[in-house]
Structure 1
């Protein structure tokens, strides 16, 4: 492989582009850059990821070095996952720890690093890239908000029921009990379109911690009459303002038990408790039911660099959707475009027999559906219907006779992938 650890390329006489070799001296420079850009809070966690993460050999740290000062001045990382997309599993990656020193910004270094990042993606077969990044900046790299990530609810402690839940007990999960967590995890997340493949070692790294912050979380069981019946993770939100939860399915009584424990931990630190919980989960629904007020939301920013590869990977999911619809015997060539590239899907008897792409602006009226740029990802990933996109993107176009087929191929569906980093 060309783009392996230790790769380097001269940008000009002063700057060189590199992929980290996992050396200690190199890491010190990477760490100092990230602490300078992101704050002292990341020091211990980046050190932990770099040295201890179970997938550290698959992580890539890409950076630009100023050869005059011997300082690393800009860097990003590539962190691998496997995510379920319907009934298929797709290798994806997350762009993380992005930053440049203040005096080196505006030189296009992140764009140069992104080119190398996508070359590594292509070489290793990663189909989708995601990022939990700041607002707007990553649009210039071709990203769009397309998967929910963070929903926030403010809840007054006075709204939490006072009745004791004596039949319920909360305790930490031990390593030998993870088989129960896996079962509950799959039962809960399997109802979503996109969700993270359970990786045991990565899960332990992320959720088995005796302390928590916006990087680390802990894992608990709720026991009923001495038997584990549900689990939840407890940590801090990315901005360190709220308490973040990932949960299995919960009853109202179990929700009360969790909220009572949060209130006890919170101890009046502020007038309202800030909860970071996905809005369609049992805990979020209950918090809203008793008076919680949703006030903010955020999302994974997503890029699909190679649309043909993406369609090849989700082919089985698309065929299953067709098979379960009135289009099961479909014989048609279907065209979908982002106005820069057009994907051609050839269906015969409901099966996709060929996938091809064409570059360039499509002929007017030639496509079944055309949605500009990265907005197309919102349709492909089930985030928005065509009509919802048309409302905010006037140049989204569809053939009237193709609307039913588009709704069948790309239904709006909830997704809930989580991070192991």
Structure 2
């Protein structure tokens, strides 16, 4: 893809698996291993490059040293679709960014990201997401625009978690059958994958961001990963009258702090949460005690990496609040992102009974702009147009929105009034424009378990 004479940036290949796994294991999470290669990272890379239903070796980018032919840096872009209210949005999650120590300082990370962004611009993937080093990725065009969790951590001695719950069989951690409403919980099997995919299909029409999985991906999550894979999670299902009514996804082992991490939970029907939540917490308590190895690693808490507004959190026991982690987002095409969101914007304005009185609304992102066209007051199209020299004073500009603020608004991390307090250069032209943008960009809950 690019070659400066010393390093070649190229797509990964099947023949790179061993070398990429060795590189990443030697540079990721080194404090946890005391400098030794991390076996969980190596297994994760091997799983992604060999057998994952939606990832291929070509989704990796590597830097190859021309002198030795060795892979000395790399990253992975994991493509997925996020959904909200029936809208499908292609997103790429960036993972496993690493460079061998002797080759650091040569701008390889910057070059790898440039190649990645170029790839997604060509492929029409409008948004990239990354977790990781605080602030670092802002320098590569990413903005903190989504909260990854923030739910309270629940101590293991909370009554809902600490209750002694018998298992139905030694190898099956299931809660007692006399739970409210006849709900039970048990580990998922590959026979559950169609039901799990159906639940995710229903979530795509909900009011929270989600990352639905089809049956093939659920099958992989349940039984396709290596045991050592650091990204491996355990899937449980909640069942009533023999029918899968929801799921719960948690860590396959306790964290170093003795916490059982919860990454996802869902119910087929919203009304089922009142019955299902106590069963889920009892199941988590049972699993946490199974995983404990006192005194070396006691079970200390259930830690949901969930939005504080998530039903499992709202209906669960009180705990210790946590500050949300930052998920950093980037778009190289802000007008294209708004075009992807057009059905959502139109429906929100329709629901609010709003009709734009002009044929056009122009939103300027300080360098690039989006032209929103209306017919009969309803949004019909969004196209990219050149930005104004001075959007804050240009009479044709209805709103000037910094790109980072646009990401926060687009993903519902902040409402317009909240963003106005944070971004002094976010400038609606008048009260009417502000009213329309407030309706277009409400705060949105997050129920994302991104694919890893």
Give the shorter-chain TM-score range. 0.7 to 0.9
Kindly state the Cα deviation for residue 393 of structure 1 after the two structures are TM-superposed: 2.4
Kindly state the Cα deviation for residue 189 of structure 1 after the two structures are TM-superposed: 5.7
Which residue of structure 1 aligns with residue 2 of structure 2? 9
* Alpha-carbon separation, structure 2, partners of 1:354 and 1:263: 50
- For each residue in 1:294-340, what CA deviation from the matched residue of structure 2 results, as whole angstroms up to 9, or x when unmatched? 22321321111112222222222222222222323643422223322
Kindly state the Cα deviation for residue 17 of structure 1 after the two structures are TM-superposed: 1.6
- Give the alignment of 1:8-407 within 5 angstroms: 8-11=1-4, 13-22=5-14, 24=15, 26-39=16-29, 40=38, 41-57=40-56, 59-151=58-150, 153-161=152-160, 162=163, 165-168=176-179, 169-188=184-203, 190-208=205-223, 214-224=230-240, 227-235=243-251, 241=257, 242-245=259-262, 246-249=264-267, 250=273, 251=275, 252-265=277-290, 267=292, 269-270=297-298, 272-278=300-306, 279-287=308-316, 290-328=317-355, 330-349=357-376, 350-353=378-381, 355-359=383-387, 361-366=389-394, 367-401=397-431, 402-407=433-438
Which residue of structure 2 aligns with residue 409 of structure 1? 440
* Alpha-carbon separation, structure 2, partners of 1:344 and 1:408: 18
Which residue of structure 1 aligns with residue 173 of structure 2? none
> In terms of mean alpha carbon deviation, does 181-190 or 170-179 score higher?
181-190
> In terms of mean alpha carbon deviation, does 181-190 or 37-46 score higher?
181-190
Change (3 A) 1:143 1:392: same
> In terms of mean alpha carbon deviation, does 234-243 or 60-69 score higher?
234-243
Q: Residues 237 and 244 of structure 2 are in contact (CA less than 8 Å); yes or no, is this contact kept in structure 1? A: yes
SS in 2 for 1:390: helix
* Alpha-carbon separation, structure 1, partners of 2:178 and 2:299: 29
Q: Residues 154 and 319 of structure 2 are in contact (CA less than 8 Å); yes or no, is this contact kept in structure 1? A: yes
Q: Residues 195 and 416 of structure 1 are in contact (CA less than 8 Å); yes or no, is this contact kept in structure 2? A: yes
* Alpha-carbon separation, structure 2, partners of 1:190 and 1:221: 21
> In terms of mean alpha carbon deviation, does 299-308 or 268-277 score higher?
268-277
Change (3 A) 1:361 1:379: farther
Which residue of structure 2 aligns with residue 3 of structure 1? none
Compute the TM-score of the two structures, normalised by the length of structure 2. 0.82
Kindly state the Cα deviation for residue 236 of structure 1 after the two structures are TM-superposed: 5.5
Change (3 A) 1:326 1:229: closer
SS in 2 for 1:147: strand
Compute the TM-score of the two structures, normalised by the length of structure 1. 0.87
Kindly state the Cα deviation for residue 240 of structure 1 after the two structures are TM-superposed: 5.9
Change (3 A) 1:291 1:397: same
* Alpha-carbon separation, structure 2, partners of 1:379 and 1:236: 35
Q: Residues 9 and 63 of structure 2 are in contact (CA less than 8 Å); yes or no, is this contact kept in structure 1? A: yes
Kindly state the Cα deviation for residue 18 of structure 1 after the two structures are TM-superposed: 1.4
Q: Residues 254 and 299 of structure 2 are in contact (CA less than 8 Å); yes or no, is this contact kept in structure 1? A: no
Which residue of structure 2 aligns with residue 4 of structure 1? none
Q: Which runs of 5+ in 2 are unaligned?
A: 30-37, 166-175, 268-272
* Alpha-carbon separation, structure 2, partners of 1:216 and 1:394: 43
Q: Which runs of 5+ in 1 are unaligned?
A: 1-7
Kindly state the Cα deviation for residue 369 of structure 1 after the two structures are TM-superposed: 2.6
Change (3 A) 1:73 1:186: same
Q: Residues 153 and 274 of structure 1 are in contact (CA less than 8 Å); yes or no, is this contact kept in structure 2? A: no
Q: Residues 237 and 276 of structure 1 are in contact (CA less than 8 Å); yes or no, is this contact kept in structure 2? A: no
SS in 2 for 1:150: coil
- For each residue in 1:194-231, what CA deviation from the matched residue of structure 2 results, as whole angstroms up to 9, or x when unmatched? 22233221222224369587410122122346554432
Kindly state the Cα deviation for residue 86 of structure 1 after the two structures are TM-superposed: 3.3
RMSD: 2.7
